[in-house]
Chain A
Amino acid sequence: MRAALFIALALAWTPLVAAPAFTTAERQAILAHGPWPPPLEPDPSNRVSGQPAAIALGDALFHDFRLSRTGDAACAYCHDPAKDFAGSDTIARVVRVKTRTLYRNTQSLWNVRFNRWFGWAGAVDTLWGASIRPILAHDEMDADPERIARLLTDDAWLAGLYARAFGRDPVGVARDALVVDAGKALAAYQETLVSPRSAFDAFRDALAAGDAAGVAAYPAAARRGARLFVGEGRCNLCHAGQRFTHGEFEDAGVPYFIRPGLVDPGRHGGLKAFKASPYRRDGAHSDAPDSPAARLTANVRMQHRDWGAFRVPSLRRVARTPPYMHDGSLATLEDVARHYSELDEERLHADGAAILRPLKLTQAEIDDLVAFLKTL
């Protein structure tokens, strides 16, 4: 009798100490972050998207320091493959005759192929255009079109890779066309950077399949963090979908003042640059200027709230790519969680979207949220 009562009490108590089941809404919200990876579609604006020969050329260019004017920088210098294609400095530094400091955090290139906009401010809507920009930027690689063109024509190995990728000898190709082709090859290489499945993906798929053991194998702290992420935290409003980003631009309450007299206009400046960019999806260098994707970005709205807004980054592999925010001002994920917990609403754009509010998290909740982020 006593044993039966003990067993009955134990059975009743067990669900209370195990992690509580997700509600229907929570489950649906978590499932929306997968499956991973998404289908890999070629970029119609880039005729060499997905082609092995172009990928090989792009890989070579990505690591080639000769693309920079002083020979001391390459794409891989800031987007270090050993550091998840991001940088570890608070801000990127390009060492030249005198040190130039850039004011935006070096973003990881994982999953960049899925972006609609590129860069923190979305100054261009093509990956190949975004690849050309830093090469020509005075405060980055500071090359000029002639330098890029000469590299492709004068280096026999690169000329051979180019010929295989584009089906023609680079000698005799117009200089501007060679610059665009270099960008398209770089883009083809970067499109291969798709992050592997994570512990979250295994958990998400187990949840979808009703695999209780698979769900239970996911750490309890991360499960609690997932509940916070899609529930009270509302993180999934902006960090939405399979990549944990909706790919658009938001004001995250991080000041856009760089120093007295210098501000970062964010998306507002990006849109101005986009309007003038020759590397747009609907532009003369695009291989599909009339595509639905081209018409979509061509119809982007300029809105007052764009000032000081920055592109919402993906959270996949986020634990591997500190620091955080557009200016690299937050060193750890704990700092990020605390930022949103103690958010200063006065810093938010007056005309901005009414999404963020201070979350007022306990330390235990911060720990759970970070535990969840570490599994992405």
Chain B
Amino acid sequence: MGARRLLIGAVALAVWPGVAAATDCPPLQDAAGRLEKAGYRLDYRFEPARPPVGAPFSVEVALCGPGGPGTGGLDVDADMPAHRHAMNYRPEVRQVGPGRYRAEGLLFHMPGAWRLRFAAVRAGAPPVRLDTTVTTP
């Protein structure tokens, strides 16, 4: 009886994608925010903790897709929709682990509401775009 229950539990874990993804895609510690869309979950954290105005900063990202950690790549950018301008610099994005990315060289050159834009790259499909607003003082 005990062995049967163990077998049922093991099969459930194997076929339940949410649980599989959770064990393969640990959340980002001390994340500043979480975005979810189309089966993707993206945690992000700034370094320094609050993006400065006029100085470069970095973003750490944990990306989980429907099948587990994001492996297709990640684009990161930002703009100010109200002012109709983007950042003046292209960030450098590199993968630092399974589903883990680091974007460096972001720079918010003026105070206000910036739209931080992430794009999870997928082979053979349009990227999944996840946006959030970051307001600098």
User: Which residues of A are interface residues toward B (Cβ below 8 A)?
Assistant: 28-29, 32, 236-238, 240-241, 246-249, 292-293, 295-297, 299-301, 303, 305, 352-355
Q: Are A295 and B85 in contact (CB under 8 A)?
A: no
Chain B stretch 114-137: residues in CB contact (< 8 A) with chain A? 137
B86 and A240: CB pair below 8 A?
no
Could you pull out 17 A-B pairs where Cβ atoms are within 8 angstroms? A32-B111, A237-B83, A237-B110, A237-B112, A238-B110, A246-B54, A248-B109, A249-B88, A295-B92, A296-B107, A299-B89, A303-B88, A305-B85, A352-B85, A353-B80, A354-B82, A354-B84
CA of A197 to CA of B111, assembled, Å: 24
Q: Is the CB of A301 within 8 A of B88?
A: yes
**With A32-B53, A301-B90: A353-B111 Cβ-Cβ less than 8 Å:** no
Contact across chains for B86 and A303 when beta carbons are under 8 A apart = yes
**Assembled-state Cα–Cα distance A241/B107 (Å):** 14
Q: How far is the CA of A246 from the CA of B83 in the complex (A)?
A: 15
B75 on interface, CB distance cutoff 8 Å: no
With both beta carbons as reference points, the residue of chain A lying nearest to B82 in the complex is identified as A354
A89 to B74, CA, bound (A): 52
Is B73 an interface position by the 8 A CB rule? Answer: no
Is B110 a contact partner of A32 (Cβ separation < 8 A)? no
Q: Give the docked Cα–Cα distance between A235 and B117 (Å).
A: 27
The interface residues of chain B lying within 8 Å CB-to-CB of A29 are 111, 137
Which residues from chain B sit less than 8 Å from chain A, CB to CB?
53-54, 56, 80, 82-92, 104-105, 107, 109-112, 137
Pairwise interchain contact A241-B92, C-beta atoms closer than 8 A: no
Closest approach, in angstroms, between the C-beta of B103 and any C-beta of chain A? 12
A301–B137 Cα distance when bound, in Å, is 25
Which residues of chain A are within 8 angstroms of B109 by Cβ–Cβ distance?
A: 240, 246-248
Residue of B nearest to A236 (CB): B111
Beyond A296-B56, A354-B82, is A240–B105 a contact (Cβ under 8 Å)?
no
Closest B residue to A242 using CB positions? B54
The residues of B that contact A237 with a CB separation of less than 8 Å are: 83, 110-112
Known A249-B88, A299-B105, A353-B80; further 4 A-B contacts with Cβ < 8 A: A28-B137, A237-B112, A246-B110, A299-B89
Minimum distance in angstroms from B108 CB to a CB of chain A? 9
Across the A-B interface, give the 3 residue pairs with the lowest CB-CB distance, nearest first.
A353-B85, A299-B90, A246-B109
Q: Residues of A contacting B105 with CB < 8 Å?
A: 292, 295-296, 299
Given A292-B105, A299-B105, A353-B84, CB of A241 within 8 Å of CB of B90: no
A297 to B56, CA, bound (A): 11
Given contacts A238-B110, A292-B104, A354-B82, contact A248 B53 (CB under 8 A): no
A240–B88 contact, CB under 8 A?
Answer: no
- Contact present for A355 and B83 (CB under 8 Å): yes
Q: Across the interface, which residues of A come within 8 angstroms of B87, CB to CB?
A: 301
Nearest neighbor of A31 in chain B, beta-carbon distance: B137
Closest to A117 in B: B88
B86:A301 contact, CB within 8 angstroms: yes
Cβ of A247: which chain B residues have Cβ within 8 Å of it? 54, 109
With a cutoff of 8 Å between Cβ atoms, the chain B residues found around residue A296 in the complex are: 56, 89, 105, 107
Instruction: Give CA–CA (A295, B109) in the complex, Å.
Output: 17
User: Using Cβ atoms and an 8 Å threshold, which residues of chain A touch B83?
Assistant: 237, 353-355
Pick the contact of A300 from B53, B88, B104 — CB < 8 Å? B88
Q: Who on chain B is nearest to A239 by CB?
A: B110
Q: Are B107 and A32 in contact (CB under 8 A)?
A: no
Please name the residue on chain A nearest to B84 by beta carbon: A354
Tell me the minimal C-beta distance from A242 to chain B in angstroms: 9
Residues of chain A lying within 8 A (CB to CB) of residue B112: 237
Q: Which of A29, A236, A296 has the most CB of B within 10 A?
A: A296
Task: Tell me the minimal C-beta distance from A50 to chain B in angstroms.
Answer: 20
Shortest Cβ distance from residue A189 to the other chain B in the assembled complex, whole angstroms: 25
A6 CA to B86 CA, complexed, in Å: 59
B102 to chain A, nearest CB (A): 12
Most A CB atoms within 10 A — which of B85, B90, B110, B111? B110
> Whose C-beta in chain A lies nearest to the C-beta of B80?
A353
Closest-CB distance, A289 to chain B (whole angstroms): 15
Query: A241 touching B84 by the CB < 8 A rule?
Result: no
Instruction: Tell me whether A241 and B88 are in contact in the complex, defined as CB-CB below 8 angstroms, given that A29-B111, A32-B111, A295-B104 are known contacts.
Output: no
Report how far A238 CA is from B90 CA in the complex, Å. Answer: 20
**What's the least CB distance linking A305 to chain B, in Å?**
7
Given A241-B54, A246-B109, residue A300 in contact with residue B89 (CB < 8 A): yes
Chain A positions within 8 Å of B90 at CB level:
299, 301
